[in-house]
Structure 1
Amino acid sequence: MSERKPVIRITYCTQCQWLLRAGWMAQELLSTFSLELGEVVLVPGTGGIFTVTCDDHLIWERKRDGGFPDAAKLKQLVRDVIDPERDLGHSDRKKS
């Protein structure tokens, strides 16, 4: 029996038309963590919601965190939950 892999859920507001943003973030995460993730699920919602969770861990919430994460920041936050020792290369480098 194989080990269960983490599941990312991106809940986005359909009223705000954030499907493309959610899909792009899902694509970025799947490209970076293709072997570490079990799946990335897009969940339609309403009321300005935009959240990213990994299993039961809230990684990003638009209202709490002040907008949307860029791809590098989201990858760092996901990495910190699923594989804290992993080096993300250029996504980990500090901007000067």
Structure 2
Amino acid sequence: MNNHIKIVYCTQCRWLLRATWMSQEVLTTFNDEVDELTLVPSTGGIFEIYANDKQIWSRKEMKGFPEITELKKRVRDVIAPERDLGHIDRKK
């Protein structure tokens, strides 16, 4: 399966750095599972993340940005549900 991640970010809000940091974290953690990661510039305060076309985060709906551990769990749940994330999965 071709797994892809898409991060849509607001250029007016200057969220490119946040989007690239999150993309680096996802690519580092899922280097064998992610085949493609796309950054999509947009406007209007948008910050949304999709895994295989399924929305896994919306800043507006969820009232903020994801913690990186939460983002990794959500990505994992879509692209590699059987994968153990080590210490992230063991945190309480």
RMSD, aligned α-carbons: 0.9
Of the candidates 68, 73, 77, which is equivalent to residue 65 of structure 2?
Answer: 68
**TM-score normalised over the length of structure 2:** 0.95
Corresponding residue of 1:43: 40
Corresponding residue of 1:79: 76
**TM-score normalised over the length of structure 1:** 0.91
Structure 1: runs of 5+ lacking an equivalent: none
Corresponding residue of 1:91: 88
Instruction: Extract structure 1 runs of 4+ deviating beyond 3 A.
Output: none
Structure 2: runs of 5+ lacking an equivalent: none
Of the candidates 48, 52, 69, which is equivalent to residue 49 of structure 2?
Answer: 52
**Post-superposition shift, 1:55?**
2.1
SS across alignment from 2:90: coil
Q: How many residues get paired?
A: 92
Percent of aligned positions with the same letter in both sequences? 60
